[in-house]
Amino acid sequence: MATTLAPPQLDKNVTDFLSKPRKMLLGGKWVEAASGKTFETYNPATGEVLARVAAGDREDIDRAVKAARRAFEEGPWPEMLPAERSRLLYKLADLIDQHREEFAELETLDNGKPVFFSRIVDVPTAIETFRYFSGWATKIEGNTVPISMPGAKYFAYTLREPVGVVGQIIPWNFPLIMASWKLAPALAAGCTVVLKPAEQTPLTALRLGELVMEAGFPDGVVNIIPGFGETAGAALAAHPDVDKIAFTGSTEVGKLIVDAARGNLKKVSLELGGKSPNIVFPDADLDAAIPGSAAAIFFNQGQCCTAGSRLFVHKSIFDKVVDGVAQATKTFHIGPGIDPTTNLGPLVSKEQQDRVCGYLESGAREGAKAVVGGHKIAGGGYFVEPTVLVDVKPQMKVVREEIFGPVVTAIPFSTPEEVATFANDSIYGLAAAVWTRDISKAHRTAAKLRAGTVWINCYNVFDSALPFGGYKQSGWGRESGHAVLELYTEVKSVCAQI
């Protein structure tokens, strides 16, 4: 691991932000937790305490839901013209834009990810998400509907109305992007929100909350309650006055959310885990497929729900591709994310490092061989070596379960039919990729894959306009695009005899 550079000077706003305990945003005010409790968030590159944050719990969630309900039913928000909501969202995007560097550094310090990527992926994606959904606020339309009931004339139409008070629970892998993917469509649709960031990475969501207020959103429209999943998260998912819960995280917790939502049958959308197949055919452009396959797994230290964690390579090029991906790991600059030359940082937490290492041990026990990597990296931070495993069998845990770390299993195949069967042999169905120069084979394979997104000759390409979500146990509903607005609106049919 190379840690040669002196720590760079941090943006002054970042040092100021970290110097004070952070409160929660509730009803337009920054307040401490009702219990007075706080928790610590850590810098994953060093294991040192980064900041102290109010620990929201049931009572805070209840107060936040009441504030969101009030803001949904009274005051300026329900009266606001769609064009005004649009302007607020655009203003919020501009404010993030003005604080780009600050957000990039804060995200890196809290999550561990290379600041190189925070600058070119996380922050710009958040900005573009708010801009994209700003446009939708004025374009949420219903239909007119012909009625065939005899005996009278009718005029019928549909309205798309906001679903109401929305609870949103987000994970730690892309904290700012996840906050923007959740907030932007909900606000465009006219909902009010209680957002719970992940306990590992609450900071950028809290800074975003300050800009939400600066942009001029009315009090209570956006409430941000940091806290733990089992307390604040569970209380939000179960709250009887929350109309909809939107969750991104593990499939295991997704099932708890479904159970918790049962009481008042709140609407549920879930973006969950994955074990995405990345398929390299023998006619692929290997100059693109090899670095593309390395990026597919190692981007964000493998902590992506879409990570290309099952690499299927045609047997005629298996050794070449596996060797290429292994060699790519040797070019990585592994180190603290805040070093601008780092392109592989630490994992988010000690817990995650232990979890990933547990999978590495299980793989070794079951007979998998590490072509490269295979261990954690000693030192203060939560680093794990980028790892390529071969000699894996379909029933091994490293092949079946989501590792959420920089670990790929490489598996040879013979025919397009065989690899489609292998690829679909998973409880997950979030994403997949195909590398080939044969356009027919690419689309035929895309049609066979049971996945919400299929990339052809590329990987991890996202767009605010492109629906994203999972088949099978990878989730319910879609993020982004027109599709997500359906999750934040109810359809009302109005029928008049004329």
Q: Which is nearer to ligand ADP, 277 or 405 (CB)?
A: 405
Cβ atoms within 10 Å, residue 265: 8
Q: How far is the CB of 41 from ligand ADP (least distance, A)?
A: 12
Q: How far is the CB of 24 from ligand ADP (least distance, A)?
A: 14
Q: Which stretch binds ligand ADP (CB under 6 A): 84-92, 193-201, 331-339, 439-447?
A: 193-201
Residue 271 is among the residues annotated as catalytic for this protein: yes
Burial zone of 146 (CB within 10 Å; 0-12 exposed, 13-18 middle, 19+ buried)? exposed
> Rule CB under 6 A: is residue 199 a binding residue for ligand ADP?
yes
Q: Which is nearer to ligand ADP, 105 or 199 (CB)?
A: 199
> Rule CB under 6 A: is residue 442 a binding residue for ligand ADP?
no
- Residues numbered 142-181 forming contacts with ligand ADP, rule: CB under 6 A: 169-171
Whose tokens are 């593990």? That residue is 250
Q: Which is nearer to ligand ADP, 298 or 413 (CB)?
A: 298
* Buried b or exposed e, range 149-162, using 16+ CB within 10 angstroms: eeeeeeebeeebeb
Q: How many residues does the chain have?
A: 498
Q: Which is nearer to ligand ADP, 131 or 376 (CB)?
A: 376
Q: How far is the CB of 30 from ligand ADP (least distance, A)?
A: 20
Q: Which is nearer to ligand ADP, 56 or 416 (CB)?
A: 56
Q: Which is nearer to ligand ADP, 254 or 412 (CB)?
A: 254
Q: How far is CA 233 from the centre of its chain?
A: 16
Contacts of 421 (CB under 8 A, 6+ apart): none
Taking the C-alpha atoms of residue 372 and residue 325, their distance in angstroms, rounded to an integer, is 9
**398 and 366 in contact (C-beta within 8 Å)?**
yes
How many DSSP H helices and E strands does the chain contain? 18, 22
> Site for ligand ADP (CB under 6 A): how many residues?
17
Which listed residue (179, 237, 388, 410) binds ligand ADP by CB under 6 A? 237
> Rule CB under 6 A: is residue 285 a binding residue for ligand ADP?
no
Q: How far is the CB of 65 from ligand ADP (least distance, A)?
A: 14
DSSP for 75-87 reads SHHHH--HHHHHH
> Rule CB under 6 A: is residue 249 a binding residue for ligand ADP?
yes
Q: Which is nearer to ligand ADP, 233 or 302 (CB)?
A: 233
Catalytic residue among 107, 128, 199, 271: 271
Taking the C-alpha atoms of residue 414 and residue 394, their distance in angstroms, rounded to an integer, is 15
What SS3 class is residue 196? Answer: strand
Residue 74 is among the residues annotated as catalytic for this protein: no
Residue 240 DSSP class: T
Taking the C-alpha atoms of residue 31 and residue 64, their distance in angstroms, rounded to an integer, is 11
> Rule CB under 6 A: is residue 68 a binding residue for ligand ADP?
no
Which listed residue (64, 256, 420, 432) binds ligand ADP by CB under 6 A? 256
Q: How far is the CB of 160 from ligand ADP (least distance, A)?
A: 28
- Residues numbered 209-228 forming contacts with ligand ADP, rule: CB under 6 A: 228
Q: Which stretch binds ligand ADP (CB under 6 A): 15-23, 59-67, 251-259, 410-418?
A: 251-259
Q: Give alpha helix (H) positions in 122-174.
A: 123-136
Q: Which stretch binds ligand ADP (CB under 6 A): 135-143, 248-256, 325-333, 464-472?
A: 248-256
Taking the C-alpha atoms of residue 162 and residue 160, their distance in angstroms, rounded to an integer, is 7
> Rule CB under 6 A: is residue 183 a binding residue for ligand ADP?
no
Handedness of CA 283, 285, 291, 293 (dihedral sign): negative
Q: How far is the CB of 199 from ligand ADP (least distance, A)?
A: 5
Handedness of CA 394, 400, 403, 405 (dihedral sign): positive
- Residues numbered 116-145 forming contacts with ligand ADP, rule: CB under 6 A: none
Which listed residue (48, 59, 214, 230) binds ligand ADP by CB under 6 A? 230
Catalytic residue among 191, 305, 402, 486: 305
Backbone angles phi, psi at 181, to 5 degrees: -60, -30
* Buried b or exposed e, range 345-360, using 16+ CB within 10 angstroms: bbbbbeebbeebbebb
Residue 3 identity (one-letter amino acid): T
**348 and 44 in contact (C-beta within 8 Å)?**
yes
Q: How far is the CB of 171 from ligand ADP (least distance, A)?
A: 4
Beta bridge partners of 159: 492
Position closest to ligand ADP via CB: 229
> Rule CB under 6 A: is residue 250 a binding residue for ligand ADP?
yes
Which listed residue (233, 277, 336, 386) binds ligand ADP by CB under 6 A? 233
Q: Which stretch binds ligand ADP (CB under 6 A): 46-54, 229-237, 372-380, 489-497?
A: 229-237
Residue 276 identity (one-letter amino acid): S
**488 and 163 in contact (C-beta within 8 Å)?**
yes
Q: Which stretch binds ligand ADP (CB under 6 A): 247-255, 284-292, 293-301, 441-449?
A: 247-255
Q: How far is the CB of 55 from ligand ADP (least distance, A)?
A: 12
> Rule CB under 6 A: is residue 234 a binding residue for ligand ADP?
yes
Q: Give alpha helix (H) positions in 331-456.
A: 350-365, 397-400, 416-424, 439-448
Residues annotated as catalytic (active site), given as ranges: 271, 305
User: What is the binding site for ligand ADP (CB under 6 A)?
Assistant: 169-171, 196, 198-199, 228-230, 233-234, 237, 249-250, 253, 256-257
